[in-house]
Amino acid sequence: MAVLKVLHSAQKPTTMAELEEKLDKKRLTIFYNLKELQKRGFVRQDRTQKIYTWILEFLETSVNSEEIPIERAYEAIARSSSQKLWGIQGGKAVQKLIEKIKRGTTYQSIHHRQRLRRVIVDGILTTRGMDLIKQIPKEELSSHLHRPTILHVTADTAELDPLEIISDGKRLFIIDREREKATVLRDACAVSAYLALHETIKALSTKMHPQEVYGELG
What value does the mean pLDDT take over residues 118-142?
Answer: 83
Residues whose CB falls within 8 Å of the CB of residue 127, separated by 6 or more in sequence, listed in order: 91, 153, 154, 155, 156
Binned at pLDDT 50, 70 and 90, residue 70 comes out as confident
pLDDT at 194 over 70: yes
Residue 106: the pLDDT is 56
pLDDT at 63 over 70: no
pLDDT at 162 over 80: yes
Domain ranges in the chain are 2-56, 65-214
Residue 217: the pLDDT is 56
Binned at pLDDT 50, 70 and 90, residue 99 comes out as confident
Binned at pLDDT 50, 70 and 90, residue 211 comes out as confident
What value does the mean pLDDT take over residues 203-214?
Answer: 90
Share of the chain above pLDDT 70, in %: 83
CATH for 2-56, options being 3.90.700.10, 3.20.20.70, 1.10.230.10, 1.10.10.10: 1.10.10.10
Calpha distance 54→161 (Å, rounded): 34
* Residue environment code for 77-110, b if the CB has 16+ CB neighbours within 10 A, otherwise e: bbebeeeebbbbbbbbbbbbbbebbeeeeebeeb
> What class is the 65-214 domain?
alpha beta
Residue 102: the pLDDT is 76
pTM of the model: 0.67
- CA torsion sign, 50 to 54 to 58 to 60? positive
